[in-house]
Amino acid sequence: MQSQATSPLAKLITAMIERARLLRGLMIALMVAAVAIDFIKPKAYSRFFWDGIPAFTAIYAFIGALVLIGLYKAVGYGLVYRRADYYQDSAKATEQDKQ
């Protein structure tokens, strides 16, 4: 009989999955807060012209994150993803080559 000992990491991941809606709302609230703080807090100095644009840094970071996620998904589907029967087909082809 196997023991059902779970690691603390597994418990944490399970708890996060169970509270996914709450975590999503929290992350959206944090992003809105970052943009709002960028509007409210004046810049100490502006080295480049875009430093003076309100909320530019937060919006630029968000768009950059979306681009990276899209790029990683495209690479994943293009290079890594295989059909469910991909290895079964190659095993059948290998058996046919042996005969």
Q: Where are the domains of the chain?
A: 8-98
For residue 46, the model assigns a pLDDT of 78
For residue 18, the model assigns a pLDDT of 94
pTM for this model (two decimals): 0.55
Backbone phi, psi, residue 83, to 5°: -60, 160
For residue 34, the model assigns a pLDDT of 85
The answer to whether the beta carbons of residues 18 and 45 sit under 8 Å apart is: no
Rounded (10°) CA dihedral 73, 77, 81, 83: 130
For residue 5, the model assigns a pLDDT of 63
The answer to whether the beta carbons of residues 55 and 39 sit under 8 Å apart is: yes
Tens of each residue's pLDDT in the chain, 99 residues: 444 668 999 999 999 999 999 999 999 999 889 888 888 887 777 788 888 888 888 888 889 999 999 999 999 888 887 777 777 766 666 666 666
